Structure 1
Amino acid sequence: MLAALFRARVALGRAVRGHDLRMVPAAGAAWAVAAGVLGTGSRTGLAVSLAGLAVLLAALLRRHAALALVAAVVAGVAAGCAWRLALDEHGPVPALAADHAVASVEAQVRSDPRTFERAGRTGVVVGLRVERVTTRHGTVTTRALVTAFGDESAGGLTVGQRLTARVSLAPADRGPEVATARLLRLGPVRPPPWWWGGAQDVRDGVARAAAHGHPDGRALVPALVDGDERGLTDELREDFRRSGLTHLLAVSGTNLTIVLACLLALARVGGVSPRWTWAVGVAAVVGFVLLARAEPSVVRAAAMGLVGVAAAGLGSRGGTRALAWAVVVLLLVDPWLALRPGFVLSVSATAGILLLVPPFADALGRWMPRWAAVALAVPLAAQLACTPAVAVLSGEVSLVAVLANLLAAPAVAPATVLGLGAGLLALVPGPWAVLPGWLAGWCAHWIASVGRWSAGLPGASVEWGAPWWVLALLCAVLGVGLHRAARRPALAVGLCLGLVVVLVRPPQPGWPPRGWLMVACDVGQGDATVVDVGGAALVVDAGPDPTAVDACLDRLGVDRVAAVALTHAHADHVDGLGGVLEGRDAGPVLVGPGGGAPNRDGRTTQVAAGARLSVGGAQVEVLGPVGPGARVSDPSRDEQDGEGSAVNDASLVLRVHVRGVVLLLTGDVEPAGQDALLRAGADVSADVLKVPHHGSARQSRRFVEAVGARLATVSAGRDNSYGHPSAAALDLLRDVGTRTFRTDRDGDLAVVLRDGRLSVVTR
């Protein structure tokens, strides 16, 4: 390990050789000072600023230029932090917020409204810059940032508008916003200045044009072009997080670099002289900031995009110097960036690209075309640089990020440029925006498909619980190894094939996985679901074979069964009951109107809709059957209607609450029974859905939409003659944003809860 670290240090030295690193110490010191001062207060900032000035004076007297540069930057950033904190600590708005005062304010909207749900009601949160505050004691002028909460009437506000409002103020958490404000009454709203109004027209045009393309484009194209994330679903965000594509869902330096490259190319084609191309670039940056809103993330993205342009024009040496200066300037403008995760990721990714792409591209370029080598080196370098920070933020390390970014990259630039072009053409009367909007939507569909596919791979990500610096050292060693492997085609291809094997069928460190809540057992064409209820298990259905379910419970280490629920009397759900009960301490067997087991030793208990049970640490609601299914008198009389069955609709439907997660276990209930539950007013919403009837085509869209599950499991046998799960059911689940996992392909499926996040681990 020590030898590997030494080789990594040598290789890093070679990578940075030729780069202008004189500003790096100053940028690092500025970042550390900003983070420290913001956490301690304005007095600390003032003291650090004075100390920096003293060091600066001493360095100038001794003609120590490097130390003087660091001291000057530290003094400036510390003074900026102290000034910002003093305004927050002693301004009029924080004082009023501390008293929970009610006041009238004149303010400017500084961020787009976002809607949220709370206690069944829709609310709106919007950022304001308060310019005047009026109370019964008088009127004061200020420029305080506040976060305002209101009802749906605030949803139509746009950036740049000026408004008057009656608000109730309250203290805010430490940050650039000095208070929160509840909008009691919204007064007159004045239109925004022309530059903000024009930017809003373009944003609206992008959204209208994207509506002509694929449904994925309606959500993703506005996010790619101008950072409008309102159409994104939680499921798409989660898929992009697992696949390492999250940076595409928000404005980043990549967006600006793409737009700048296109504009500068058009300027050269149009005959613009080189001395005026800088004006085109500056105009593009200003337009980008207006379009994507002048929020901290956008300002940061603009700076990183300019660093990329500097690197393209001045070489990696100039790019490294530009990155360090960008960090310093951004911290002077907004010191709170020092504590923002996005700032860490942007700087890390940009630094990784500047330092690591050239050596990786040179190594790969020995045996592949230069364009392909660069295309592969960019996501590889960015991922290596960002992995430690991502692991700290998410607790996971993506193994598929490089592959996903490589597959998505060809569509990112076309989607961005076509979407922006469509937004501009939408300002002109006529159908000019339809074609570019349609093309941008299909490019976005490719990106979304890559995200979903890569996130669905069993080995897409792994947990990381060790300190970040351990991962940083491992990434350094890995970078050296990958650089050496990149020179040898056979070794590089072999490593790629090995990674594919790990992604598709990852090795299991043990079973069951830590934090498991529920396991869908692979028992062939049948159902057997196990829920961890704390020291025991709730088993719902037992599959067709005692041996298969017994083996699944043994793998989970289950020796005590708190209760068994048999949803209905079909053999693929009940014939394995002996494998559950024998050799284990078992509680009652619960059945519904659809039957399920003979009453042996008084063990069987019948339950009906409306029953509420405590099973270990879980709370179980019996939602169904209701309607005609609840009145099945002879389960042996199975009246078939195509693939339907009266007994299927008599299945017990259980809603299980365990460790803050809701599971909906549905037996084989079919559309008639599913819709009956909705008509009865049952709350079927859940985090995890056991898909009814092994994923047959007979599913109610209204029911699946009402469940709204993030994850779904399908229990079906390999190569079964029924065609389960059906393509129609899988398409329906995908349409409503539910990620689906299948026992016929993946084996046992464990739903895992770790750090508040749900995921599925396969065996």
Structure 2
Amino acid sequence: MPLLGVVAWLAALASHLLGAWVWVLLGAVAAVAAAAAAGPSRRRHGATVVGLALVAVAVAGSAVLRQQAISDNPVAELASDRAAVVLTGTVVSDPRPVSGRFAEQVLLRLEVREVTGRGVTHRLATPVLVIGGEAWAAAALGSRVRTSGLLAPADGGDLAAVLTSARDPVVLERPDVWWRGAGAVRASIRASVAHRPDDQRALVPALVDGDDAGLDPALADDFRTTGLTHLTAVSGTNLTLVVGFLLILARWCRVRGRWLYAVGALGILGFVLLARTEPSVLRAAVMGVVGLLAMGSNGQQRAFRALGVAVVVLLLVQPGLAVSVGFALSVLATAGIVVLAPGWRDALARWLPRWVAEAVSVPAAAQLACTPVVAAISGQVSLVAVVANLAVAPAVGPATVLGLAGGLLGLAIPAAGSVVGTGAAWCVGWIVAVARRGADLPGAALDWEAGVGSVAGLGLLCVVLAVAAPWLLRRPLAAVGLAIVMVVGVTARLPSPGWPPAGWVLVMCDVGQGDALVLRAGPRTAVVVDVGPDPSAVDGCLDDLGIDVVPFVVLTHFHADHVDGLGGALDGREVGEVETSRMLDPTSGVEAVLSTAAAAGLAPLVAPYAETRVVGEVALQVLWPLPGSPTEGTGDGSHANDASVVLLAEVRGVRILLAGDLEPPGQAALARMLPGLDVDVLKVPHHGSRHQDLDFLTSLRAEVGLVSVGADNDYGHPAGEVLDALERTGTEVLRTDTAGDLAVVVEGGVVAAVGR
């Protein structure tokens, strides 16, 4: 059965990569199978080969037919013409608010049953992604609605089209009673913890039913770093805990025999309704069933066979799972627990209590099995994942069960639900503390290049570790020594050879598509200008520079790519002040800064215009915006760039212009105000966007130009014409997307820049 699962997976992948050409490949497979069945070894191997071929044909055929059904239908044809249409369909996913460039939008999936476009009405069943206004947030899962808008082609193979500019929905039918019931339970779970702190209020629903709306992005980053992300999404663990709890209750109520299977089946059905019938939930439910089988007698063999069956069935029903990262992680984690964990447990049980051996072996096996895939998608390997999962394990079960119990009890007695929900929130508080403290460790994660060769090498290393682990674990000295090495590697800050370079005065941190700059004020002290979009990225950059004291942080404006990392810059450091632009726009960025600063006991101030301040080796002056300039914008951040704080800094004789995201009108105004301005280093405005006053930028005669930009960004940053214009005037231009962290150094009066 595991072999059938592997073949099914390969066939589904081939269908996605080859399209209709997969039939040629399957024809060759069928010919080989027929030859094997007719050959001299047919009695021993013929049936197996034929079975493998049948599974491959079935899965690949299902995948191709599904792709054709989605891509070759009237909705897809109308989308290719970008036609205006009227749609009627069923809401099949929860509405998800997202921040658009100019306004809040809501995304959801609609199973279209009727479409009218170009004067013709078609009846069919095909999935469409809807992008609409705030009214769509009230569109309940399972309701039948009518709307209109413009169709556009979809990028993904699981959607026939995207409906843009969707009109507010007209509800034709309310959801069925089971969907209303599941929605009421989800709402009750949220209500049972509504009185708790933000992190606990968001994480309890995520643990119980995968409802992660409102989860702090910084906390989500910490969960990724510590290998705890599976707790914030629907996984097989959720189902195992919920259904296991129901089975225990059933046994207490003297339910026996086949009735227990009925209770288990109803529990699985209820879990799927509660967590939604999306592919990821169905996958998690099936993997949870495999986990339940592993708990019974002869569990390892039964679960391994069941895993093969689960993979085949899931790929027959949803072939698109073959290219889903979540599916790969679920299968690998389950396989690791079923295949590796028993041997590791038995090895450890020779010198440790069996319950301790099991507690260590299960998360370790799951983590090792998933490591290559996690490294491929995240570019890092968590070194604290096993310890973090061990630390939170005692709290996960109670938090999940109490969260569900609080929601169910709250339907009848809200006050009692809140009491039980408080218990779930206390358990979750421990999980949050482990995630935050673990992510703060110096060696919490190891950067790993996401290339084919490096990931393949990591996979080979994991195989070697899987084979060698039983030998190591059955020997106390070897196991303890390995544990000590891991603890030292995680808790001790290892030196980064050659970084920071001697004589550095400025470092531009590689934080992706955003800005974060560090001006050296003295030993372990720096002024920080902008903090990028990712708290962990700026925190790691400051850690690598050894910065413990930050006299003040300047946020040039309130766009997310400049302010969302504030928590990382403040965490664990002595920070004097936070200064910002005069224009308090966009409001979402302002609110995020205010709340993050308040949590650190700080109240942001407006950066003082024209005042020269000296902090250690740094002299800093605000050149822009002017006093009396607007403090309120439109609310969507469309005018925030030209209100960026522009700073003229001098560090050890090096003059640096930090221009934020200033647009051409602001640059032209600066040129008029400061004719003849000459600097050594220019932070190129707005990530090298083509919207620049090139006359002003080239007149600065900077020796070094720095561009903070994310690799493969969707904005076309940086623009080639801007880089060419600067280089023609003798400016050496360096970019974070190609050189990583950038440092400006001065030695013997010579200014230069180096990448990490």
What is the TM-score when the length of structure 1 is the normalising length?
Answer: 0.68
Give distance in 1, aligned partners of 2:736 and 2:395: 34
Residue 131 in structure 1 maps to residue 113 in structure 2: yes
Deviation at 1:447, TM superposition (A): 0.6
Q: In the TM superposition, what are the counterparts of 1:560-599 in structure 2 within 5 Å?
A: 592-594=610-612, 596=614
Residue 128 of structure 2: SS of its match in structure 1?
A: strand
| Consecutive unaligned residues in structure 2, runs of 5 or more | 502-506, 510-516, 532-545, 548-574, 577-607, 627-645, 650-654, 663-681, 690-707, 710-734, 744-755
Structure 1 76/55 Cα, relative in aligned 2: closer, same or farther at 3 Å? farther
1:361 aligns with 2:345: yes
Q: What is the SS of the residue equivalent to 1:153?
A: helix
Residues 347-370 of structure 1: per-residue CA shift (max 9 Å, x gap)? 110000111111111111111111
Q: Which amino acid aligns with 1:30?
A: A
1:106 and 2:88 correspond: yes
How far did 1:178 drift? 1.4
Code of the aligned partner of 1:44: W
Query: 1-side partners of 2:430 and 2:147: how far apart?
Result: 45
SS in 2 for 1:230: coil
Match for residue 173 of structure 1?
155
Structure 2 CA distance for partners of 1:530 and 1:238, relative to 1, 3 Å: closer
Pairwise CA RMSD of aligned residues?
3.6
Provide the secondary structure at the position in 1 that maps to 2:87.
Answer: strand
Give the CA deviation at 1:167: 2.2
Following the alignment from structure 2 to structure 1, what is the Cα–Cα distance between the partners of residues 418 and 221?
Answer: 30
- Alpha-carbon distance in structure 2 between the residues aligned to 1:268 and 1:605: 71
**Alignment-derived partner of residue 259 in structure 1:** 242
Q: Is the 8 A contact 1:591 1:597 kept in 2?
A: no
In structure 1, the residue matched to 2:470 is: 483
The one-letter code matched in structure 2 to 1:252 is S
Task: Return closer, same or farther for 1:437/1:657 CA change in 2, 3 Å cut-off.
Answer: farther
Paired position in structure 2 for 1:447: 431
Instruction: Determine whether 1:470 maps to 2:457.
Output: yes
Once the two structures are superposed, the pairs formed by residues 401-440 of structure 1 within 5 Å of their partners are 401-440=385-424
TM-score by structure 2 length? 0.69
Letter in 2 for 1:620: A
5+ residue gaps, structure 1, are: 1-22, 533-547, 550-571, 574-589, 624-654, 663-685, 688-751
Q: Specify the alignment match of 1:371 in structure 2.
A: 355
Report how far residue 308 of structure 1 moved. Answer: 0.8
> Structure 2 matches for 1:170-249, cutoff 5 A?
170-182=152-164, 183-249=166-232
Mean CA deviation greater in 47-56 or 492-501: 47-56
Q: Distance in 2 between matches of 1:146 and 1:312?
A: 40
Distance across 2 between alignment mates of 1:284 and 1:166: 38
SS in structure 2 of the partner of residue 426 of structure 1: helix
Q: Which residue of 1 aligns with 2:21?
A: 44
Which of 437, 442, 445 is the aligned partner of 1:458? 442
Q: Distance in 2 between matches of 1:400 and 1:168?
A: 48
Distance 1:597 1:81, change over 3 A: closer
How does 1:720-735 map onto structure 2 within 5 Å? none
- Cα distance in 2 for residues equivalent to 1:323 and 1:187: 43
Aligned CA distance change for structure 1 residues 609 and 169 (closer, same or farther; 3 Å): closer
Q: Distance in 1 between matches of 2:355 and 2:615?
A: 66
The within-5 A match list for 1:293-692 is 293-313=276-296, 314-465=298-449, 466-512=453-499, 517=509, 518-519=517-518, 521=520, 523=522, 527=526, 592-594=610-612, 596=614, 608-610=623-625, 612=646, 619-620=658-659, 660=687
Secondary structure at the aligned position of 1:432 is classed as helix
Distance 1:311 1:525, change over 3 A: closer
SS of residue in 1 equivalent to 2:175:
coil
Q: Deviations over 1:692-723 (max 9, x none)?
A: xxxxxxxxxxxxxxxxxxxxxxxxxxxxxxxx
Structure 2 Cα separation of the partners of residues 96 and 55 of structure 1: 42
Q: Give distance in 2, aligned partners of 1:758 and 1:321.
A: 48
How far does residue 493 in structure 1 lie from its aligned partner after superposition? 2.3
Secondary structure in structure 2 of the residue aligned to 1:512: coil
Larger mean CA deviation between 463-472 and 301-310 belongs to 463-472
SS in 2 for 1:367: coil
Q: Which amino acid aligns with 1:112?
A: D
CA contact (8 A) 1:49 1:79 kept: no
**2:446 and 2:686 mapped to 1: Cα distance?**
22
- Seen in structure 2, the aligned counterparts of structure 1 residues 613 and 272 have a Cα distance that, compared at 3 Å, is closer
Q: Distance between the aligned counterparts of 1:175 and 1:759, measured in 2?
A: 39
- Is the aligned partner of 1:281 residue 2:320? no
* Separation of aligned partners in 1, 2:106 and 2:129: 10
Task: Report the secondary structure of 1:508's partner residue.
Answer: coil
Identity across the alignment (%): 41
1:122 to partner: Cα distance: 0.5
Deviation at 1:87, TM superposition (A): 0.8
Matched, 1:160 2:142: yes
Range with bigger deviation, 197-206 or 485-494 = 485-494
Aligned CA distance change for structure 1 residues 263 and 606 (closer, same or farther; 3 Å):
closer
User: Is the Cα–Cα contact under 8 Å of residues 521 and 530 in structure 1 kept in the other structure?
Assistant: no
Closer/same/farther in 2, CA of residues 618 and 348 from structure 1, 3 Å limit:
farther
Q: 1:376 to 1:516 in 2, by over 3 A?
A: farther
Specify the SS of the correspondent of 1:319: helix
Match of 2:2 in 1: 24
CA distance in 1, matches of 2:91, 2:738: 35
Amino acid across the alignment from 1:266: L
CA deviation after TM superposition for structure 1 residue 139, in Å = 1.6
Alignment partner, residue 97 of structure 1? 79
Structure 1 SS opposite 2:148: strand
- Provide, for residues 33-90 of structure 1, a one-character-per-residue CA deviation record: whole Å limited to 9, x for no partner: 111211232x224444555555555555544121111111001001101211221232
Matching residue of 1:77: 59
SS at match of 1:403: helix
Shift of 1:272: 1.4
Q: 1:352 to 1:439 in 2, by over 3 A?
A: same
Tell me: CA distance 1:614–1:179, structure 2 relative to 1, closer, same or farther (3 Å): farther
Change (3 A) 1:213 1:439: farther
| Alpha carbons 2:97, 2:105 under 8 Å: kept | yes
